[in-house]
Every structure is written in C-alpha cells, then in structure tokens.
Structure 1
C-alpha cells in the first residue's frame, strides 16, 4: 500500500528590523519521528538550512574553515606542451649534430657571403653564389637566411635553409655594420655588391 512521508519541512518568518527592512529567518524542522513511527528508512544525508541574517558572521567563518580543509588541486601537464618540449629537445640535438659534422659560420644580416650549392637537378654540378644576407629567420633546424645578389644587373633574392645538405660550403667575405635585423630597403636602393 503506497504511503507518503514528509522528510522535512521549512518555516519562513519575517520580522521588521531597526532600519525598516524585514529580517528573513528560515528554520528546518525535520520529521524524523514520523519516519520512525511509520518504519521508514532515514537517509544518512542531513537536511539543508538557510541561516538567519544575524548569523552571517558565523557562517562566513565556517565557510572559510571548510575551504581550507579542501585538498590542494593536482595539476597535470598538458600533452601538447609536453610534446612541444620534446620536439624542442630533439631539434636542438639535431642542430648540434649537424654543427659537429660541418663547420658553420655565424651568418647575420649585412654579411656578404659566398655559397657553394649543389644543384638539385644535377648533383655533380656545384654552383657558386655570392650575395648579401638581408634576412635571417631563427627556427632551430629550420633556420633560413635570404641572400640578395645581382644577376645581369637585376636583383635576385634566394632563400636557403642554413642546415641544408645541398649547401656544401659557406664563406663570409665581408661584414657590413647594420642596425636592422631585416635589410629589405636594399631592394629599392643600389645593391651593396656593386661596390666590390
């Protein structure tokens, strides 16, 4: 036979305060005796109560005590950050290995360099390129530098990977003092190679 029981009930009262605003007081009345008499089961969780306005200071101190009891949150490393870190380590190792095998001069914008480059179509042929470095992009193993040179009176720019196996030799011929990291203004002006 179905039979309904009340677990708890709330009573709400309002009384005027000294400043004219009503003070709300709510109390919880649990009907545990009804449950015992009817033979019902009492759950282990307690009923929630809203505290009165006058007890705000006490409830605030209880809240701060409960916050300090909470265990500290465990931080887990993000997998993408860990993978990025591993790739940086591998990249640095590869650069060190290449530098130990082949002598690599430090190339900066403003340097006039001469390259011996293997032609990709014909590996036996090596072409010699001479030009001024107008830009360098540092990216570990993928570091590149841009050379500007004159071919039959026309300015030509070439982009080379610094650690490319096609570059057989890099020789620094001259070092010009520059105040910029990128010398793109040389595209509009007379090339520095004409003076040599």
Structure 2
C-alpha cells in the first residue's frame, strides 16, 4: 500500500484485535450494535462470507443470508466499533476468493460444503 508513513501509523493504531480468523465461505454470526435515538440494541446477522477486502483500517467483509426467500447482503467494516463480536458458526470449503456465483443459486444448490463433511 502506497500511503504516507504517518497515515499508516495512525491507521495501525485504529486496528481492532480480538476478531476470530474467518475466511470466505465460512458461516459467521455478526453481532452489530444499532443505535436508535438514545437507545441501542444488538442485532445478529448470520450468513455466508462472500468476500473479504483487506485494506488495513478500511477492511470490509460481505455476508449474505436468505431471509423469507429474499437474498440479503450486508457489508461490515472489520474494525468498526459497532461490531460487538463475530462468531464463526461453521468453516466452509471453497476454491474461490469471491463467492458471487451464490447470488444466482437458490435452495440446496446455494449451500457451501462444510469442513466437517469433507
């Protein structure tokens, strides 16, 4: 990454530790803090990781789930203070870095093979 050393130093101080190791194809449960007025609550979003964008403090990951027969994708900032925790539900076995082909599949065809099945 071609950034100024000062910017890189500031970004590295903002990085968050304590996240589990998860990869593309894993099923994760993201506990996300939502602020509504003066109240806040935790919303859980569980789905398959479609892609990871690794860029230091700007890193993101995209999670997809099917809710009421509608595909829902959500992009999370990896080092966001709003993410309470990330749990890895199951490890998936995939051969791709981006799983965008899952958008066109539905039902059992859209499943990702588990590590325990192999």
**What is the TM-score with the length of structure 1 in the denominator?**
0.51
1:109 to 24, 28, 32: 24
Corresponding residue for 1:92?
A: 12
Corresponding residue for 1:192?
A: 111
Q: Which has the higher helix share?
A: 1
SS of 1:120's equivalent in the other structure is strand
Asked if the contact 1:132–1:192 (Cα under 8 Å) also holds between the matched residues in 2, the reply is no
SS of 2:40's equivalent in the other structure is coil
Corresponding residue for 2:70?
A: 154
1:126 to 42, 45, 48: 42
Q: How many residues align?
A: 107
Say whether 1:169 aligns with 2:89: no
Structure of larger gyration radius:
1
CA distance in 2, matches of 1:105, 1:176: 15
**Which consecutive aligned stretches of 4+ in structure 1 deviate over 2 angstroms post-superposition?**
120-124, 190-193
Q: Report the Cα offset of residue 111 of structure 1.
A: 0.7
Q: Which has the higher strand share?
A: 2
- Unmatched segments (≥5 aa) in structure 2: 113-118
Q: Alpha carbon RMSD of aligned pairs, Å?
A: 1.8
**What is the TM-score with the length of structure 2 in the denominator?**
0.81
CA distance in 2, matches of 1:127, 1:92: 28
Corresponding residue for 2:115?
A: none
CA distance in 1, matches of 2:85, 2:92: 20
CA distance in 1, matches of 2:42, 2:14: 25
SS of 2:30's equivalent in the other structure is strand
SS of 1:88's equivalent in the other structure is helix
CA distance in 1, matches of 2:29, 2:97: 20
